[in-house]
């Protein structure tokens, strides 16, 4: 099995790219390519696998893709993998309003990385989850829904990057990927 020293991370999001490089940088060189890959409807895992498969076909080689979900317990997992569309349509305040009539404000942030060796290969998934709750926006609005997701008394937006990288759903998924890479699985 060929060892890969560089990962082609398919993203156009500079904040995600910075987090991935900060966490994986000591194991592998993370390069980036923005490819418009259509997203299917489905579960978090189905969406992640299909996105990775399609990206590998476009690139013609190994790729790493990432999908993020935000599951509101009161809404039985919604908005889930469709959080980007919900955030775009409703904004932070609208996401809060979705939960106004519910006592339960708990949520789970989910990050799923999918690694695909190339066209025709089955993607491998690495998933991380962080339990928190949805609160009124606090902190800078520079990275998606970070201002409304609170973990241990602080929103992601209120945390320093290093602090967030220790507790986030993305860091947990990347830790699993990092272990797999360190074992020389690719």
Please state, in angstroms and rounded to a whole number, the distance separating the CA atoms of residues 159 and 149: 11
133 annotated binding-site participant: no
100 annotated binding-site participant: no
21 annotated binding-site participant: no
List 155's β-bridge partners, or say none: 150
The predicted pLDDT at position 16 comes to: 81
What percentage of the chain exceeds 90 in pLDDT?
62
pLDDT digits (tens, 9 = 90+) for 118-158: 999 999 999 999 999 999 999 998 889 999 999 999 999 99
11 annotated binding-site participant: yes
Predicted TM-score (pTM) of this structure: 0.88
Structure tokens at 19: 């987090």
60 annotated binding-site participant: no
Give the chain's largest Cα–Cα span: 54
Tell me the H-state helices in 12-160.
14-24, 44-59, 83-98
88 annotated binding-site participant: no
126 annotated binding-site participant: no
Q: Which domains are present in the chain?
A: 6-183 (3.90.950.10)
């Amino acid at each position: 099995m060929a060892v890969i020293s560089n990962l082609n991370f398919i993203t156009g999001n500079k904040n995600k790219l910075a987090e991935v490089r900060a966490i994986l940088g000591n194991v592998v060189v993370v390069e980036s390519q923005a490819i418009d890959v259509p997203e299917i409807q489905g579960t978090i895992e189905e969406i992640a696998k299909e996105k990775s498969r399609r990206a590998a076909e476009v690139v013609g080689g190994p790729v790493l893709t990432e999908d993020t979900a935000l599951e509101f317990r009161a809404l039985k997992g919604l908005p889930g993998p469709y959080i980007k569309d919900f955030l775009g349509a409703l904004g932070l305040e609208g996401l809060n309003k979705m939960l106004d009539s519910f006592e339960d404000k708990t949520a789970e942030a989910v990050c799923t990385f999918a690694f695909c060796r190339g066209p025709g290969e089955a993607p491998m998934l690495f998933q991380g989850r962080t339990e928190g709750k949805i609160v009124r926006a606090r902190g800078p609005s520079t990275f998606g829904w970070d201002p409304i997701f609170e973990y241990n008394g602080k929103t992601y937006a209120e945390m320093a990057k290093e602090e967030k990288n220790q507790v986030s759903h993305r860091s947990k998924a990347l830790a699993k990927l990092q272990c797999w890479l360190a074992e020389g699985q690719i």
